[in-house]
Structures are given as structure tokens and as C-alpha cells.
Structure 1
Amino acid sequence: MGKWFSRLYDPFMAPLEKKSFKGIRQDLISKARGNVLEVGSGTGINFPYYVNAEQVTAVEPNPDMLKKSLRRLKNRDQPIHTHVGEAEDLPFPDNTFDTVIGTLVFCTIPEPDKAFAEIRRALKPDGKLLLFEHVRLEQKTLGKLQDILTPLWKHVCDGCCLNRNTLNMAKKADFHVENVQSMYKGLFLTIELTHPNT
């Protein structure tokens, strides 16, 4: 994982964040309660929006991204603890977290099915999984275009896959879908899920 990606990520995303992503993040993350786990916390862009969490544990596999996130830890009411780690191998006991957050992260996780299994294990039986993700479009031609572009995009953008069907993966992992909101004609989804044992 190159340092250039961590340096360019925030400037590259700034126009989208300002236009719409900031509001999406604020709305989704305000629903996080109790002991919260964020997978793929990146540069800590979500940290300011944790207003209802008791504490947050943030896991990020890229040390350079995690280092950049530390500047967003200042003046926080809720404690946020950061760790280098992967969603496929969470170093936490079973039934630890009330809420798990993932935003624009499942596109980059090498083994997403394994990550869902780990989240399911670490989430309490009455817990929630809240996601904001870009996904493969249902429109046939555009979806095929995403398939074609993904190998190059993945190489340039630190493993990001344009054509992941994250909602179906969550269903396959037996999470219960509570709410799905579609943006940009289905390119982006916010997904609210509950633990299979709820």
C-alpha cells in the first residue's frame, strides 16, 4: 500500500464529501450506539460524526492512513482507539460490539465474506451493522463497464473494486436487512443491518 494513496485520498474525496458524502456519513454514523467498531477507518473522516457512541474502536490495515487519522482524534468527547488490523481477522472477543460501521471499505477488503463472518462474530446478538458503500450497478451495460474497469482501478486505487455487490454479500452472511437507501442511481447505498441472531 503506497504512501501516495494516503496522501491523496482526502483531497481526491473532498468534492464528493462537501457535496453529499458528509451528510450521508453524519446521518448514518449518528445511529451508532454503545461500544462501536469501525472497520477500515482510513484517514478518520468519520471520527467527528460519532455523537451517540460511548466509545469507538477503529481498525485500519494501512498504517499510513491510520497515522493520518490521528489528527482527527483531538477534542473528542467519545474515546476513539485506533489499531492497525484487518476486518478478516478482528482481534476482539465474540459479542463485543453494539454497532459496527463500515464506509466505503468493503470495496477494498480482499476477502469480504470472511470479513462479514468476523463482524458477525464480534457483534452482539442485538447489534447493528451500518454501511455506506459503492456497489456494482444493476444496469447491465454500466455494470459490465465496472467489471472491465475494475482490474485497472483496483491497481491504481489501493485494491478498490468497482463491482462488489456488498448488499448481497451481507445477505449471504445472514444479516437481516433493515433499511437500504440508494443514491446516484444505485451506485452508492447506505445499508442498515442487524445481527442474524437478533
Structure 2
Amino acid sequence: MGKWFPRIYDIAMRPIERSGFKKIRTKLGKEANGRVLEVGSGTGINFPYYRNAIRVDAIEPNSIMREKSLRRLERARVPIQLSNARAESLPFADDTFDTVLATLVFCTIPNPVKAIQEIERVSKPGAKVLFFEHVRVEQPFLRKTQDLLTPLWKKLCDGCHLNRDTLALLKQSNLEVTEVKYYYNQIFVVVKSFNNKSNKL
């Protein structure tokens, strides 16, 4: 990941965060309970919204993003442990987490299928798995626009795939999707699911 993108991320996102994303993050933060894993915590934008977590383990592979998140980490209302790790190789034991949260991160993960498998592994049977992502849209003109812009967008925004169909990947996984809610002309989606694996004997 380049150095310029993480440095301007908060400034670039500020208008849309204020206009609607803050409300979404607030709701998801309240739903995250017990021991929580946050995948791709970025600049720590979700840290202020945790209320019911016993502890949050946040992973972020980008050093600049991690550094920028420290101020929010220090002001968080719950204990947060920040780690340098990637979603495809999570440094946690099986069946560790009660809740997993990922927001606006799956567009940049190089191997999203492996990341979902790792989430399944480290979360407990029945654990809540919550996503807020932008996704490939159904509307033909917007979908074509996403496809055309993605090659350049990936270069400018450090690997972000505008046209990644994250929702389809989730539906093909062992996670049980229970709720899907769209925002902003179906470009953004909140997906609520749970880990459908069986208890180990």
C-alpha cells in the first residue's frame, strides 16, 4: 500500500462519514458484543462506537493506518488490542470470537475467499459476523461504470476493487446471511450473518 492514500483517507471520507456512515457504524458498534475481532481497522474509525465489547482485537496490515488509529484507540471506551496482521492469515486460535466486524475493507483484501474462511475459523459457532461494504451493483449502467473504473481505481486507492461482489462471496461461504440492507443506490450494503459451523465434539 502506498503512503499517500492512508494519509488522506480520513479527510477524503469525512463528508460521507458525517452524512450517513457514522450512523451505520454506530449501530454496528453497539451490536458487537463479547470478544470482538475487527478485520482491517484502518485509521480506527470504528473504535469510538464499541459499547458492548469485552475486548476488541483489531488487525491492520498498513503501518501508517495503524499509527493514525492510535489516537482513537487511546480514547476508546473498551480495551482494544491492535495487531499487524492480514485477514487471510489471522493470528488467533479457532473459536475465539463472539463477534467479527469488517467495514469497507473487503474491497482491498487480495484473497477475500481465504479471509472469509479465516473469519469462519476464528469465530465461535453462532458468532455474529457483521459487514459494511461497497459491492458490485445490479443496475447495468452503474455496474459497467464500476468495471471500467476498477483498473485505475485499484492503482489510485491501493487495491480497492469497485466491482467486487462481496455479497455473493458471503452467500457462497459457510456464514448464514440473515439480513441485507442497501444504501446509496445499492452501492453500499450492511450484511448481518452468523457462523453456521457446528460445535466441535
Matching residue of 1:50: 50
Cα separation, 1, equivalents of 2:111 and 2:197 = 23
Shift of 1:77: 2.9
Do residues 184 (structure 1) and 184 (structure 2) align?
yes
Matching residue of 2:152: 152
Determine helix, strand or coil for the equivalent of 2:75.
Answer: coil
Which amino acid in the other structure matches residue 14 of structure 2?
A
Cα separation, 2, equivalents of 1:115 and 1:75 = 29
Which amino acid in the other structure matches residue 164 of structure 1?
R
Shift of 1:144: 1.4
Matching residue of 2:129: 129
Shift of 1:167: 1.0
Q: Deviations over 1:139-187 (max 9, x none)?
A: 1121011011101001100110000111110111121111111111210
Matching residue of 1:38: 38
Do residues 12 (structure 1) and 16 (structure 2) align?
no
Shift of 1:29: 1.7
Pairs within 5 Å for 1:54-65: 54-65=54-65
Matching residue of 1:138: 138
Cα separation, 1, equivalents of 2:144 and 2:174 = 27
Determine helix, strand or coil for the equivalent of 1:64.
Answer: helix
Which amino acid in the other structure matches residue 27 of structure 2?
D
Which amino acid in the other structure matches residue 35 of structure 1?
R
Cα separation, 1, equivalents of 2:50 and 2:93 = 23
Cα separation, 1, equivalents of 2:77 and 2:22 = 20
The answer on whether the counterparts of 2:94 and 2:122 sit within 8 Å (CA) in structure 1 is yes
Cα separation, 2, equivalents of 1:84 and 1:10 = 20
Cα separation, 2, equivalents of 1:196 and 1:152 = 37
Q: TM-score, normalization: structure 2?
A: 0.96
Determine helix, strand or coil for the equivalent of 1:57.
Answer: strand
Cα separation, 2, equivalents of 1:76 and 1:37 = 15
Residues 141 and 124 (structure 1 numbering): CA distance in 2 closer, same or farther, change over 3 Å? same
Matching residue of 1:108: 108
Cα separation, 2, equivalents of 1:77 and 1:135 = 31
Cα separation, 2, equivalents of 1:85 and 1:47 = 18
Question: How many residues get paired?
Answer: 198
Cα separation, 2, equivalents of 1:104 and 1:55 = 21
Identity, % of aligned positions: 55
Shift of 1:78: 1.1
Determine helix, strand or coil for the equivalent of 1:21.
Answer: helix
The answer on whether the counterparts of 2:120 and 2:174 sit within 8 Å (CA) in structure 1 is no
Unaligned runs of 5+ in 2: none
Cα separation, 1, equivalents of 2:68 and 2:177 = 33
Which amino acid in the other structure matches residue 33 of structure 2?
R
Matching residue of 1:118: 118
Matching residue of 2:75: 75
Unaligned runs of 5+ in 1: none
Determine helix, strand or coil for the equivalent of 1:74.
Answer: helix
